[in-house]
Amino acid sequence: MWIPLFLDPPLQLLYCFQLGLPPTLRALWANPRLLLRPQKLRNIFMAGFWAVFGPGLDAHSAPAKRVLVTPHASGVVLEIGAGHGHSLQYFERAAVDRYIAVEPNEDMHPGLRRSIADAGLSEDDGTALILPFGAHEVGRIAAAVGEGQVDTIISFLTLCSVPNAEQVIPTLCLTLLKRPGGTLLMYEHCLSPVWSSRLIQRFWSPAWSVVWNGCRLDRDTARWVEQVPWSEKHVGEEDIPDWHLFYRAVGRYVL
């Protein structure tokens, strides 16, 4: 079992190249000067890859996301790493006043704007706002939306890519969320509780993060989220075994 598990990340990276390279090469062909902008190329790669890979993964995780989002995303909803806006389809539209998407990869924004429109929200009437920031830029986010003004933070498959996530999680939640009642909805892959899987996650994370634009397999998100003084914790279950390299941390946390 351990040999296939060990070989899983490099095989997934090959698949990732298969999906991400064609749009990246097309963009390079159209504009060879992109070679001088490696971060822009990584963004194009990630957006192109996620456009094909993301919907399948989203469909697989739909039951868990629906349980989290549909009854609990309300008021001012801020999503970090919104990507192409997959989570919007789970919104109970009448419960959401405003949607703020924090998405640093601007090549994701066209897809995100389509999902915002499909959800009946709009940047023009102020019911939606896209911030091209990282989730770690808490000061910039707070300057744009105000401190303690957010009812719900959504983080789906994003904290794995956020630098210093251990510090960012409490800072982000305690700065932006309303108190009491502000809620974090989280669906993340994280460090496995099984030591041998952890070794594999730690071994592959450096290479994985280069291809996956900063994402790491070994983030201890399930533990880090516990640093916040939540008044309620509803830790969810995912149908993924604890030895899995993409073991999930799923939950609803209320201040």
Ligand X SMILES: C[S@@+](CC[C@H](N)C(=O)[O-])C[C@H]1O[C@@H](n2cnc3c(N)ncnc32)[C@H](O)[C@@H]1O
**CA atoms of 107 and 48, how far apart (whole Å):** 9
Hey, CA dihedral for 203, 162, 177, 72, is it positive or negative?
A: negative
Residue 153: C-alpha distances to residues 70, 199, 255 (Å):
13, 31, 12
List of residues contacting ligand X (CB under 6 A): 50, 54, 58, 80-83, 86, 102-105, 108, 134-136, 156-158, 161-162, 214
Q: Tell the smallest beta-carbon distance from residue 210 to ligand X (Å).
A: 14
Q: Tell the smallest beta-carbon distance from residue 255 to ligand X (Å).
A: 21
Q: Tell the smallest beta-carbon distance from residue 195 to ligand X (Å).
A: 26
**CA atoms of 60 and 65, how far apart (whole Å):** 10
Which H or E run includes 223? helix 221-224
- Closest CB to ligand X among residues 89, 149: 89
Q: Tell the smallest beta-carbon distance from residue 81 to ligand X (Å).
A: 3
Identity of the amino acid at 9: P
**CA atoms of 214 and 42, how far apart (whole Å):** 10
Q: Tell the smallest beta-carbon distance from residue 58 to ligand X (Å).
A: 6
- Closest CB to ligand X among residues 81, 182: 81
- Closest CB to ligand X among residues 108, 116: 108
- Closest CB to ligand X among residues 101, 200: 101
b/e 112-127 (16+ beta carbons within 10 angstroms → b):
bbebbeebebeeeeeb
Please state the separation of Cα 212 from the chain's center in Å. Answer: 12
- Strand arrangement of the beta sheet that strand 248-254 belongs to: 128-131, 96-102, 75-80, 152-156, 183-189, 248-254, 232-235
Which H or E run includes 196? helix 195-211
- Closest CB to ligand X among residues 76, 153: 153
Q: Tell the smallest beta-carbon distance from residue 136 to ligand X (Å).
A: 5
**CA atoms of 199 and 222, how far apart (whole Å):** 17
- Closest CB to ligand X among residues 117, 199: 117
Q: Tell the smallest beta-carbon distance from residue 156 to ligand X (Å).
A: 4
- Closest CB to ligand X among residues 148, 214: 214
Going by DSSP bridges, is the β-strand pair 152-156/75-80 parallel, antiparallel, or unpaired?
A: parallel
